[in-house]
């Protein structure tokens, strides 16, 4: 990670068990804050995305996901995390 504070402007509710592991959301996320699990699988046997700091609330993930896995919420006040907290 860089020494810059990370700014998070939104968050997601991820319906993990609705995911089919297609990975479309990973490349669709402009700040690249979604990553697929490596070992954990959902109840249907698929890897699924997890969210890291830095979401902008842009909704690109929810727009591209064929299975309506994401609900996006934008914060009224951005959350800033200093590097020393990581
Ligand atoms: S786009 Fe939707 S179905 Fe595909 S991996 Fe992402 S969350 Fe899962
Ligand atoms: S809302 Fe935008 S920034 Fe946040 S995870 Fe989805 S695509 Fe990425």
pLDDT band at residue 84 under the 50/70/90 scheme: confident
Per residue in 6-40, pLDDT (tens digit) is 999 999 999 999 999 999 999 999 999 999 999 99
b or e along 29-49 (b: 16 or more beta carbons within 10 Å of the residue's beta carbon)? bebebbeeeeeeebeeebbbb
Of the ligands numbered here, which is closest to the C-alpha atom of 49? 1
Evaluate whether the domain defined by 6-76 bears CATH number 3.40.50.300: no
**Cα of 1 from ligand 1 centre, angstroms:** 25
Residue in the structure block whose two tokens are 């939104």: 10
| Alpha carbons 2 and 5: distance in angstroms, whole number | 8
pLDDT for 47 equals 98
Domain ranges of the chain: 6-76
Record the pTM: 0.93
SS3 label, residue 83: helix
Tell me the pLDDT of the chain averaged across its residues.
95
pLDDT beyond 90 at 86: no
Candidates 2, 12, 28; CA nearest to 74 is: 12
**Cα of 84 from ligand 1 centre, angstroms:** 32
pLDDT for 18 equals 98
Of the ligands numbered here, which is closest to the C-alpha atom of 24? 1
Ligand 2 pocket test: which of 6, 34, 52 has the largest number of ligand atoms within 8 Å of its C-beta?
34
């Amino acid at each position: 990670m860089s020494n810059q504070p990370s700014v998070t402007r939104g968050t997601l509710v991820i319906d993990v068990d609705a995911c089919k592991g297609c990975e479309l959301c990973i490349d669709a996320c402009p700040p690249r804050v979604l990553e697929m699990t490596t070992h954990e699988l959902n109840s249907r046997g698929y890897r699924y995305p997890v969210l890291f700091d830095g979401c902008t609330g842009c909704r690109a993930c929810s727009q591209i996901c064929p299975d309506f896995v994401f609900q996006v919420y934008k914060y009224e006040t951005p959350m800033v995390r200093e590097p020393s907290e990581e």
